[in-house]
Amino acid sequence: MAEAHPVGFQYVVEAKNRGARVIHVDPRFTRTSALAHTYVPMRAGADIAFLGGVINYILANEKDFREYVVAYTNASMIVGEDFQDTEDLDGLFSGFDPDLRVYDQSTWQYAGQGDVGQPEGAAHADRETASGLEQESHGPPVPADVPRDPTLQHPRCVYQILRRHYARYTPEVVERVCGVPRDQFLEVCAAWTANSGRERTTALVYSVGWTQHSVGVQYIRAGAIIQLLLGNMGRPGGGVMALRGHASIQGSTDIPTLFNLLPGYLPMPHHRQHETFRQWVDAIRHPEQQGFWANAEAYAVSLLKAYWGDAARPENDWGYGWLPRLTGDHGTYQQVLDMIDGRIKGYFLLGQNPAVGSAHGKAQRLGMANLDWLVVRDLFEIESATFWKDGPEVATGEIVPERCRTEVFLMPAASHAEKEGTFTQTQRLLQWREKALDPPGDCRSELWFFHHLGRLVRERLAGSTRPRDQGILNLTWPDEEPSGEDVLREINGFDVVTGEPVPNFTALKADGSTACGCWIYSGVFQDGVNQAARRKPGSEQDWVAREWGWAWPSDRRTLYNRASADPEGRPWSERKKYVWWDPDAGEWTGYDVPDFEKNKPPGYRPPDGATGVEAISGDDAFIMQGDGKGWLYAPSGLIDGPLPAHYEPAESTVRNPLYGRQANPTHKVYDRADSPINPRSAVYPYVFTTSRLTEHHTAGGMSRQLAYLSELQPEMFVEVSPELATERGLEHRGWAHIVTTRAAIEARVMVTDRLRPLRVDGRVVHQIWLPYHWGGQGLVTGDSANDLIGIALDPNVLIQESKAGTCDIRPGRRPTGGDLLAYVEQYRRRAENNDG
Amino acid sequence: MGVRTWIEGWPVYRQLTGTDPLGRGAAAQSARSKGLSARTGTVDSMARSVCPYCAVGCGQRIFVTDGKVVQIEGDPDSPISRGRLCPKGSASKSLVTSDRRQTRVRYRRPFGTGWEDLDLDTAMDMIADRVLQARDATWEDRDSGGRPLNRTLGIASLGGATLDNEENYLIKKLFTALGAIQIENQARI
């Protein structure tokens, strides 16, 4: 955090100065470690073993916040008789299909609900379309009336299943798998649990060190289980916080440029599952269940009204027929392989540099070299714009400029200072940026570019009667270039008759009388005022600072904050009061906007047969969940199991000490020769991981072009421990090269005890660390760490495993030209023959 | 210069007798530094902005004089960053003002060995033509079972995490209406 989010880290330092204890768990000693009381080194890729150990410590010692757990989580719910755990099946859950490598999830359901499992083939389609996790946002298909045992004694209640599942994650096992000495591990457990409960809360912060794994979603689930057990969710100073890495990466998920989503986490339709409008809407709202997703039809119709205006009518299902359909995996890695195969003709890169920033850089560049055309919109001449003339494959002869057919348009972009608009930062806060000046020369914003591209395309198609052109011709697309605020108004939503902005998403209607571009952002233009532009100085506000920017949904700064009060609506403690029930006023009140219906009392119980919002009890703090509870156990939705279990990374140097299953049985790989994965082999004996430097940003397009930053961190380097330097003959400040089955790259050697050998399962494991910012363009250049990394994906979200891999490291520079290809090939052959 | 002025100009004297015993403020000020003023005090305009690097969302103030950015500073009003910026945020003036920025469209024709100039309007027309050609050449009306597809797999896009919400909204809206579904960004990576 001190390295990659330094300004956020100021609060950690302040807390430390006020007496907080700071613990840092990381494969490498960083600037964060330097300011922590305790630094715990561990093996990259073993986090679930560590977190599972913490869960086991909590349960074995009954350190959970019992009142919170019984009231707000699904601990008491009873799971069906047919469920079998990894304990029973040596690392598999019940329902595994070895041919498709997915689970039929019907045996994971709560008791009596087995019939709401999935139709045949659904799990496979969910993995392909990264839609398994849609239950997180769309509400899971579970009814509210689940059998429960509030004493938590029933052998099939979630609490007992959790106990059995994590019983083997003992401190000894944590030491064996993670390389963390048991005393140090127990110190972390004691600190975490002692600082959680009625009077105190603990925050859990993660970054892509967690998401970029073949079990990444389950890492975060494991963290969430701990925070639920300790009562840290929905409360001030608690929570699970993703420290995201780009100015509006949260915003680009909410209003997605993602293949499987429409704005507000509505799913892109799937050709089989959502053939009709009714199938699509019912798949989102699950008619029988409780919670706010029950109103999904209003959100969906309002989006279609925003897209197609008057042309979206009840008789044409609001234009649903114009939406394109998914058939499977259309993610960025599938796309790259399709480019190599010649299936994709044109590619837009919008402030993104996959030649350096995406895994398996060679595949990225070879894909781009096989397009009809490529449009690169960026501030600088980045590597993804120049692969055809000076990329690494030009040096090896794999790309010859005179034979590379890709037509390239490098379109200069406007910077953040030269346009107005909102970024959504990592806490869901929208902040409006004022425009400081016009962009220079041909530089233009994306707003300008896409407005005019749409205008030009519509002019060319004008008058067409082809069915395929009606969606674009009927699109609401003004002739005049819109301002950022015009678009934000459309995102907020409005009454289609009066044009007045809607106050929030509860005002949206399914009858076509409202239009709304992104229902969760509804309210950002409340009262006709750009709420994201609010700038009351922090020094003039309380610590929640609600008059700065605007947070979705409905300006709530902490999600699920109903849980900051006890079931009766009283603060858990004076010290941690945040949102509470005021019985005299008959409403929820507090420092934040209550994440609950304002006037629903804590004692409210739904009538029999209630669904949707009416079915939410006065003590159901998790209002978007189909059962109103925080999920310790996920009875549906996750592709790879209802509970996190430790699997080794797709590339690992050790055999899984916990189960017979080596890697996540459902993780996704593309089985083709140009997308290889290192086998477990002495040829690739070391673990490597990558991360950011404070002084550079991602693929370097915004930092290696700047003189100050280039001077601060001028050269690609690799960090190794003194012990590994001795083992491989590596010299401090000398050259080394690192080899995987995909590439060999070179870097300057930094011998440092920031890395230390770990003892894992009885043997020494060496770890290597690399920054990933370098490429061939800019003021400072170097080889790209992402060239080393393969395409092994988490099955829930199709994100690649780039935080744990295996490699070799040798002294000296790598070979060049055709020799480089032969060198990597020779490694691959030796590994296949297991010839260490 | 009189003796009194000379003595009072001596920093140690001011430190011992004045209101600045630690010598970190007024006592240490020279005549030259006293005559200086912040360049941010004389600018034409100031825009309240947000840092474009990571997702913490630090407030920035962008100062403009004569149509040029003359300074970018942390915004002390921001309850998130309280005026602070990291090395990248502090360097963002040089991101915006860099002479290495591309300010003209560059074009590489198929099998070309170098960049060529291209007029912005011509480039936009060429891109619009290519989008429609790719779409028509790869259009899919229905799947083998007769269910609607309404799409093209001939066009892909990557990016958005560094862009504004309003921009991403238009990108998704336009591509969706065109039937292009292979729209991705850093959030998948």
Residues A707 and A815 in one domain: yes
pLDDT of residue A140 exceeding 70: no
- In this structure, what token pair is assigned to residue A20? 């907080």
CB A39 within 8 A of CB A29: yes
Residues A72-83 have a mean pLDDT of: 96
Name residue B146's amino acid: G
Residues A679-690 have a mean pLDDT of: 97
Nearest Cα of chain A lies from the Cα of B79 at a distance, in angstroms, of: 4
| Whole-number Å distance between alpha carbons of B122 and B133 | 16
Residue A291's pLDDT band, with cuts at 50, 70 and 90, is confident
For residue A668, the cross-strand partners are A793
Q: Tell if the CB–CB gap between A436 and B104 is shorter than 8 Å.
A: no
Chain B interface test: which of A206, A250, A257 (most B C-beta within 10 Å) = A257
Residues A455-470 have a mean pLDDT of: 98
Chain B environment of A488 (Cβ under 8 Å): 165-166
Chain B environment of A270 (Cβ under 8 Å): none
CB A336 within 8 A of CB A279: no
Task: Report if residue A373 sits inside a domain.
Answer: no
Residues A212-226 have a mean pLDDT of: 98
Distances (CA, A) of A156 to A66, A95, A163, A326, B144: 18, 17, 11, 38, 45
Q: CB distance from B101 to chain A under 8 Å?
A: yes
Q: CB distance from A519 to chain B under 8 Å?
A: no
Element (H, E) at B70: strand B68-74
Chain A environment of B161 (Cβ under 8 Å): 246-249, 252, 351-352
Under 8 Å CB pairs connecting chains A and B tally to 472
Residues A826 and A703 in one domain: yes
Domain boundary among A185, A207, A233: A233
Q: What is the pLDDT at residue A114?
A: 54
Strand residue runs (E) in A329-438: 346-350, 373-378, 407-412, 421-424, 429-433
Chain A interface test: which of B165, B170, B172, B185 (most A C-beta within 10 Å) = B165
Q: Tell if the CB–CB gap between A457 and B68 is shorter than 8 Å.
A: no
Q: What is the pLDDT at residue A674?
A: 96
Q: What is the pLDDT at residue A137?
A: 46
Task: Report if residue A168 sits inside a domain.
Answer: yes
Nearest Cα of chain A lies from the Cα of B184 at a distance, in angstroms, of: 4
Residues A74 and A127 in one domain: yes
Task: Report if residue A484 sits inside a domain.
Answer: no
Alpha helix (H) residue ranges in A699-784 = 707-712, 722-728
CB A242 within 8 A of CB A206: yes
Q: Tell if the CB–CB gap between B161 and A352 is shorter than 8 Å.
A: yes
Chain A environment of B117 (Cβ under 8 Å): none
Q: How far apart are the first and last CA of chain A?
A: 38
Residues A77 and A219 in one domain: yes
Q: CB distance from A10 to chain B under 8 Å?
A: yes
Nearest Cα of chain A lies from the Cα of B135 at a distance, in angstroms, of: 9
Residues A520-546 have a mean pLDDT of: 97
Enter the DSSP assignment of A799. Answer: -
pLDDT in tens, A294-353: 899 999 999 999 999 999 999 999 999 999 999 999 999 999 999 999 999 999 999 999
Residue with the bigger pLDDT between A294 and A56: it is: A56
- Give the HSE-up count for residue A637: Cα atoms under 13 Å, Cβ half-sphere: 23
Task: Report if residue A296 sits inside a domain.
Answer: no
Q: What is the Rg, in whole angstroms, of the alpha carbon atoms belonging to chain B?
A: 28
Q: Please report the residues numbered 436 through 465 in chain A whose beta carbons come closer than 8 angstroms to any beta carbon of chain B.
A: 436-438, 440-447, 449-454, 456-457, 460-461
Place of tokens 């495993």: A801
% of chain A with per-residue pLDDT over 90: 91
CB A251 within 8 A of CB A433: no
Residues A88 and A76 in one domain: yes
Q: Please report the residues numbered 11 through 70 in chain B whose beta carbons come closer than 8 angstroms to any beta carbon of chain A.
A: 45-59, 62, 64, 67-69
Q: What is the pLDDT at residue B27?
A: 84
Chain B environment of A251 (Cβ under 8 Å): 164-165, 168
Q: Tell if the CB–CB gap between A430 and B143 is shorter than 8 Å.
A: no
pLDDT in tens, B66-101: 999 999 999 999 999 999 999 999 999 999 999 999
Structural domains of chain A, count: 3
Question: Which CATH number covers residue A107?
Answer: 3.40.228
Q: Please report the residues numbered 317 through 356 in chain A whose beta carbons come closer than 8 angstroms to any beta carbon of chain B.
A: 321-327, 330-332, 335, 338-339, 343-352, 354
Residues A80 and A197 in one domain: yes
Residues A808-824 have a mean pLDDT of: 98
Q: Tell if the CB–CB gap between B161 and A441 is shorter than 8 Å.
A: no
Residues A750 and A794 in one domain: yes
Q: How far apart are the first and last CA of chain B?
A: 68
CB B102 within 8 A of CB B118: no
Task: Report if residue A365 sits inside a domain.
Answer: no
Q: What is the pLDDT at residue B31?
A: 81
Q: CB distance from B161 to chain A under 8 Å?
A: yes
Chain A environment of B113 (Cβ under 8 Å): 389, 401-402
Distances (CA, A) of A499 to A306, A492, A738: 12, 11, 60
Domain with A3, as residue range(s), is 1-41
Residue B12's pLDDT band, with cuts at 50, 70 and 90, is confident
pLDDT of residue A571 exceeding 90: yes
Chain A environment of B177 (Cβ under 8 Å): 307, 322, 471-472, 475
Chain B environment of A364 (Cβ under 8 Å): none
Residues A680 and A756 in one domain: yes
Q: Tell if the CB–CB gap between B157 and A307 is shorter than 8 Å.
A: no
Q: Tell if the CB–CB gap between B188 and A258 is shorter than 8 Å.
A: yes
Domains of chain B, CATH where assigned? 3-34 (no CATH), 39-97 (2.20.25.90), 106-188 (no CATH)
Nearest Cα of chain A lies from the Cα of B11 at a distance, in angstroms, of: 34
pLDDT of residue A115 exceeding 80: no
pLDDT of residue A795 exceeding 80: yes
| Whole-number Å distance between alpha carbons of A15 and A9 | 10
Q: How many other C-beta atoms are found inside a 10 Å radius of the C-beta of residue A692?
A: 19
Residues A62 and A6 in one domain: no
Chain B environment of A254 (Cβ under 8 Å): 165
Domain boundary among A233, A261, A293: A233
Q: What is the pLDDT at residue A142?
A: 63
Domain boundary among A187, A204, A233: A233
| Whole-number Å distance between alpha carbons of A758 and A768 | 12
Task: Report if residue A91 sits inside a domain.
Answer: yes
pLDDT in tens, A346-359: 999 999 999 999 99
Nearest Cα of chain B lies from the Cα of A243 at a distance, in angstroms, of: 7
Q: What is the pLDDT at residue A136?
A: 45
Residues A409-427 have a mean pLDDT of: 98
pLDDT of residue A141 exceeding 70: no
Q: CB distance from B160 to chain A under 8 Å?
A: yes
Distances (CA, A) of A163 to A85, A152, A168, A529, A634: 12, 11, 9, 51, 15
Residues A30 and A83 in one domain: no
Indicate the SS3 state at residue B29.
Answer: coil
Which among B184, B141, B148, B136 has a CA at the least distance from the CA of A270? B148
Nearest chain B residue (CA) to A406? B110
pLDDT of residue B29 exceeding 60: yes
Nearest Cα of chain A lies from the Cα of B74 at a distance, in angstroms, of: 11
Nearest Cα of chain B lies from the Cα of A508 at a distance, in angstroms, of: 19
**Minimum-distance CB partner of B130 among A255, A373, A521:** A373
Residues A104 and A223 in one domain: yes
Q: Please report the residues numbered 648 through 677 in chain A whose beta carbons come closer than 8 angstroms to any beta carbon of chain B.
A: none
Residues A792 and A807 in one domain: yes
| Whole-number Å distance between alpha carbons of A61 and A38 | 23
| Whole-number Å distance between alpha carbons of B143 and A145 | 40
Give phi and psi for A226, each to the nearest 5.
Answer: -60, -45
Which among A191, A116, A182 has a CA at the least distance from the CA of A146? A116
Task: Report if residue A50 sits inside a domain.
Answer: yes
Residue A135's pLDDT band, with cuts at 50, 70 and 90, is very low
Q: Tell if the CB–CB gap between A436 and B105 is shorter than 8 Å.
A: no
Mean pLDDT of chain A: 95
Question: Which CATH number covers residue A752?
Answer: 2.40.40.20
Q: What is the pLDDT at residue A122?
A: 76
Residues 6+ apart with CB under 8 A from B37: none
**Minimum-distance CB partner of A436 among B56, B69, B149:** B69
Chain B interface test: which of A329, A423, A519, A802 (most B C-beta within 10 Å) = A423
Q: What is the 3-state secondary structure of A486-500?
A: HHHHHHHCEECCCCC
Distances (CA, A) of A723 to A29, A34, A727, A807, B56: 16, 21, 6, 17, 37
Chain A interface test: which of B40, B45, B50 (most A C-beta within 10 Å) = B50
Indicate the SS3 state at residue B59.
Answer: strand
Nearest chain B residue (CA) to A346? B155
Q: What is the pLDDT at residue A293?
A: 84
pLDDT of residue B103 exceeding 90: yes
Residue B22's pLDDT band, with cuts at 50, 70 and 90, is confident
Task: Report if residue A551 sits inside a domain.
Answer: no
Residues A813-836 have a mean pLDDT of: 92
Nearest chain A residue (CA) to B47? A436
Chain A environment of B44 (Cβ under 8 Å): none
pLDDT in tens, A582-640: 999 999 999 999 999 999 999 999 998 888 888 899 999 998 887 899 999 999 889 99
Q: How many other C-beta atoms are found inside a 10 Å radius of the C-beta of residue A194?
A: 12
Chain A environment of B184 (Cβ under 8 Å): 257-259, 331-332, 335
pLDDT of residue A730 exceeding 50: yes
Region of A187 on the Ramachandran plot (φ > 0 left; ψ -120 to 50 alpha; else beta): alpha
Chain B environment of A440 (Cβ under 8 Å): 101, 103
Residues 6+ apart with CB under 8 A from A182: A171, A172, A174, A175
